[in-house]
Amino acid sequence: MSLFISNAYAQTGGAQQGGGFEMLIMLAVFGLIFYFLLYRPQAKRVKEHKNLVSSLSKGDEVLTQGGLVGRITKVSDEKDFIEVALNEDNNIVVQKSSVTAVLPKGTMKSL
The model's pLDDT over 54-87, given as tens digits with 9 standing for 90+, comes to: 999 999 999 999 999 999 999 987 889 999 999 9
Domain locations in the chain? 21-55, 57-110
Q: Both ends of the chain: CA-CA distance in Å?
A: 85
Is 59:33 a contact under the CB 8 Å cutoff? no
CA 86 to chain centre: 28
- pTM flag (> 0.85): no
- CATH fit for domain 57-110, picks 1.20.950, 3.90.550, 2.30.30, 1.10.490: 2.30.30
